[in-house]
Amino acid sequence: MKEYHAKAYDHLMRLPGFSEQSVTTHLTLYQGYVNNTNLLAEMMREQLTVGQCGTIEWAEMKRRFAWEFNGMRLHEYYFENLTGTATALDRQSQLYKKIEEDFNGYGLWEQGFKGTGGMRGIGWVILSYDVQTGRLFNVWLNEHDTGLLVDTLPLLVMDMFEHAYLPDYRLKRQEYVEAFFNVIDWGRVEKRLSDCLKSQLPIAGRDAA
């Protein structure tokens, strides 16, 4: 069975506003999600092989798998939409125009995204694309596996767990959010939108083109 492997994110060591210690700790946590995803997948496969899929243990592993897998994948989205050479979002880009259209202005979108990041609690803030309607949403994803909107794909992901901001910003969450906005790789986010638009394949609940 094919295993998942932690990706290399050396570029994170050069992020303005993010200390090397903070990044190193974050990458270590990410490695844990990758390891546990592989471990649970193998354990569930073994349990299934011996006919134990009806046990309490198997059920709990199945529930835990979403936590570990989403923790792995969301961190990959997060790390990959950061860059040490960030530039402002191009006002002529498809992404900017889409944000303007769906949020009645880029400023209102940014206000809403940052405001979501300022909410109490741990989780993720995600600019999500609804594949059925093409509409954008700012989503609060509680933990890793609660609050995900079905049939949406992440374009921009911001980690709001304490390990993402406490080492450098303590309880000043909004300062972390501002630091995050200073290192967004808008080119990566734009590509994610472009990939969504190119892959409008028929799915459940939507008529084929």
**Which residue ranges make up the annotated binding site?**
26, 75, 159, 163
Q: For 10, list phi and psi in degrees, rounded to 5.
A: -60, -30
Q: Which residues contact 17 (CB under 8 A, 6 or more apart)?
A: 168, 179, 182, 183
Distances (CA, A) of 204 to 107, 131, 207, 209: 34, 11, 8, 13
Cross-strand partners of 123: 142
Kindly report the length of the chain: 209
Find, among 150, 147, 151, 157, the residue nearest to 189 by Cα: 157
Give the CA radius of gyration of the chain: 18
Positive or negative torsion for Cα 109, 115, 116, 118 = positive
Find, among 152, 122, 7, 10, the residue nearest to 75 by Cα: 7
**Which residue ranges make up the annotated binding site for Mn(2+)?**
26, 75, 159, 163
